[in-house]
Amino acid sequence: MSTPGTRTVLVLLDSAGTELRSPVLELITVGRSLGRVEAVALEAPSVDVLAQLGAYGVALVRQAEPSSGGEVVTGDALHLTPVVAEVLAAATRASDADAVLLTSSFPNKEAAARLAFLTEAGLVVDASALTDGGTHLVADKRVFAGSWDVRSEIVTDPAVLTLRANSVVPQPAEVAVATEVGALRLELSPAATAARVVSRTVDESAGAGRPALGEAAIVVAGGRGTNGDFGPVTELADALGAAVGATRDAVYEGWHDQFVGQTGVTVAPRLYIGAGISGAPHHRGGMQASQVIVAVNNDPECPLFEISDFAVVGDLADVLPQAAEVLREHRASQG
């Protein structure tokens, strides 16, 4: 059993071929607080990714080279959740890892569950924090639509976790290192290769230049109060570099394509701005874990005001463009 500060933590790189996104850098930051971090890549890391990993103190990347029946598995088949799980299981054995961390995307949650089964590991999904309790790792998470905070001690070795975006602020290591890439060769089981990729659709709903809704640090969302005009919402989102979301009703009306809620996308950004949103329980269940909540509504009795840190009573068509203009002016004044 490893002692605090000496653990080996594996981090799955979601986009090793391009550039590491903030949620993955958060995982590395958390992992580094526990000990030594190794990365696992499903594809060859790009030069930019290797530079990022070096800056964040990751000295080794295990690049998966799985095969089935003597043939190397490539392309979309590499990202099937049973394949990812067996790759991570092999990496866990190779590095004798104490913990495996993944971002909290839906495919990663499934892969994490499969990995926990393969390695007989304890599993925590959607953790908001991970600390070393001395004997075991301890994970925090919010449950029941963000109304309860729970703490779980993971008594198995290894521990498998998916960590919600915006749980920590990514921090480079004090000293950069040279990152090496090592081959991780394994033969996949028939169960892992039983599934086949029939078709694949890339979701472009985040919009050009905008972060994905589920992992954005800032979210601006609109509801029925927009009356179908999301122009002020997107204008403020562009000024903030934020993702755009909506309520379920707004999506059903065809005004937007992604809704925040218990049965939609669950978000926990550092800043959430809800414009023209009443604050129905379904919507609140998907966003009330946000760190700072701002509500804009012309109804002073708006239920969303009850959980807001800052409330603005006014017409969103006036308030949001003014806020966007002030932000643009401030940015321009900063050079």
Give percent above pLDDT 90 in the chain. 77
Task: Say which residue, 211 or 322, is predicted with more confidence.
Answer: 322
Q: What is the CATH number of the domain that holds 320?
A: 3.40.50.1220
Tell me, yes or no, whether 176 and 50 share the same domain: yes
Tell me, yes or no, whether 11 and 149 share the same domain: yes
264 φ, ψ (degrees, to nearest 5): -115, -130
30 φ, ψ (degrees, to nearest 5): -65, -45
Helix (H, G, I), strand (E, B) or coil at 328: helix
Residues 270-302 have pLDDT tens digits of: 999 999 999 999 899 899 989 999 999 999 999
- How far is residue 247's CA from residue 304's CA, in Å, rounded to a whole number? 12
232 φ, ψ (degrees, to nearest 5): -60, -35
Do the beta carbons of residue 150 and residue 139 sit within 8 Å? no
Give percent above pLDDT 70 in the chain. 95
Instruction: Choose among 218, 110, 241, 123: nearest CA to 165.
Output: 218
Instruction: Choose among 191, 217, 183: nearest CA to 60.
Output: 183
Domain annotation covers residue 192: no
Q: Determine the structural domain holding residue 141 and report its residue range.
A: 7-187
Least confident of 56-65, 201-210, 325-334: 201-210
Instruction: Choose among 277, 281, 276: nearest CA to 263.
Output: 281
Tell me, yes or no, whether 183 and 220 share the same domain: no
| Span 232-247, average pLDDT | 96
Tell me, yes or no, whether 160 and 232 share the same domain: no
- How far is residue 231's CA from residue 19's CA, in Å, rounded to a whole number? 30
Tell me, yes or no, whether 169 and 24 share the same domain: yes
Number of domains the chain is built from:
2
Tell me, yes or no, whether 173 and 228 share the same domain: no
Task: Say which residue, 88 or 148, is predicted with more confidence.
Answer: 88
Question: What pLDDT is attached to residue 1?
Answer: 54
Q: What is the CATH number of the domain that holds 30?
A: 3.40.50.620
Tell me, yes or no, whether 148 and 248 share the same domain: no
Please give the single-letter amino acid code of residue 161: L
Tell me, yes or no, whether 131 and 222 share the same domain: no
Domain annotation covers residue 202: no
Confidence of residue 204 (pLDDT cuts 50, 70, 90): low
- How far is residue 113's CA from residue 200's CA, in Å, rounded to a whole number? 23
Do the beta carbons of residue 263 and residue 249 sit within 8 Å? no
Question: What pLDDT is attached to residue 148?
Answer: 80
Cα–chain center distance at 211: 11
Tell me, yes or no, whether 144 and 275 share the same domain: no
Residues 156-199 have pLDDT tens digits of: 989 999 999 999 999 999 999 999 999 999 999 999 988 877 87
275 φ, ψ (degrees, to nearest 5): -115, 125
Q: Is 209 exposed, middle or buried (0-12, 13-18, 19+ CB in 10 A)?
A: exposed
Domain annotation covers residue 206: no
Question: What pLDDT is attached to residue 304?
Answer: 96
Tell me, yes or no, whether 90 and 145 share the same domain: yes
Residues 34-89 have pLDDT tens digits of: 999 999 999 999 999 999 999 999 999 999 999 998 888 888 889 999 999 999 99
Question: What pLDDT is attached to residue 202?
Answer: 63
Do the beta carbons of residue 264 and residue 257 sit within 8 Å? no
- How far is residue 238's CA from residue 209's CA, in Å, rounded to a whole number? 9
Q: Angle of helix 316-333 relative to helix 231-240, nearest 10 degrees?
A: 20
